[in-house]
Amino acid sequence: MKIRTFGLLGLIAVMLLSACGKQSSPSLEGSSWILSELNGQTVLDDPLVTLSFTNGQLNGSDGCNRYGGSYTVQGSQITVDKDIFSTLMACEEGIMQQASAFLNALTSAVQYEIKDDQLSLLAETGTVLAVFTAQSQDLAGSSWIVTGFNNGAEAVVSPLLDTEITLTFDADGKLSGKACNSFFGSYETASGTLNISQMGRTEMFCVEPEGIMQQEDQVLAALASAATYRVDGNSLEIRTAGDAIAVSLIKAP
């Protein structure tokens, strides 16, 4: 009986250790990263190469085009679907070469490691293919320029020619910006959610270009509809509760 009991306890211990080993790999779900090293070499500082994981899907920018695809994880093993899709913009040769090498590394990865704020993708041989640093999702102290907004008619449009719309998130939970008028409000963030409230603006009337006042109304309405957000490299995307794009922005110089 003692031998059998010992054998049973040993089996349980092995099972528990195995389970703990599987659980020890930090989850990729909801994480965002910026590429810092590719095939043992440092990467271009600009444009940034990004990678995000959400609900079994990965996406980001390869430095030239937006890309996306699916992935699966088992323990610390990762499989990226080789049918990665991307936009078809052309960029400078060096950027295009890096983008191609990055997507190849991404689809070749079979294992991942997360240590502190660093993600490494590894080949089957254990060679490190790519290294990333964690992308901060903190909006406090950041300034942005609007590149697109929901016009309230189920369309995302660009700002009018020769106009600029800015947005700044202060560290004290206040936001401010400039369209025709200066505007202001309060914001709260938590785990990817964004609530903008108490919006107000000055009362200047602008005439040119035509439609600028309507544009301001639409931008403020779009900001008020914010429900979620994601920072991706130098881009910020704010979405509604229905997951429609409310406002898209790039980081101000």
Degrees, nearest 5: CA angle 247-102-144: 20
Block means of pLDDT (10 residues each) for the chain, 253 residues, are 47 43 70 96 94 94 96 96 94 96 97 96 97 96 98 94 97 97 98 96 95 97 97 95 97 94
CA pair distance 163, 150, nearest whole angstrom: 16
Residues with Cβ < 8 Å from 144, sequence gap 6 or more? 166, 167, 168, 236, 249, 250, 251, 252
Q: Residue 162 and residue 166: Cα distance in Å, rounded? A: 13
- What are all long-range contacts of 83-89, with beta carbons under 8 Å and residues at least 24 apart? 86/62, 89/64, 89/65
Q: What is the pLDDT of residue 24?
A: 53
Nearest to 148 by CA among 252, 229, 242, 245: 245
**Amino acid of residue 92:** E
CB-CB neighbours of 217 under 10 Å: 14
Residue count (the chain): 253
Residue that has been written with the tokens 């560290």 in this structure: 171
Q: What is the pLDDT of residue 5?
A: 46
pLDDT at 144: 98
In whole angstroms, give the CA distance from residue 91 to residue 126. Answer: 32
Structural contact between residues 112 and 28, judged by C-beta atoms closer than 8 angstroms: yes
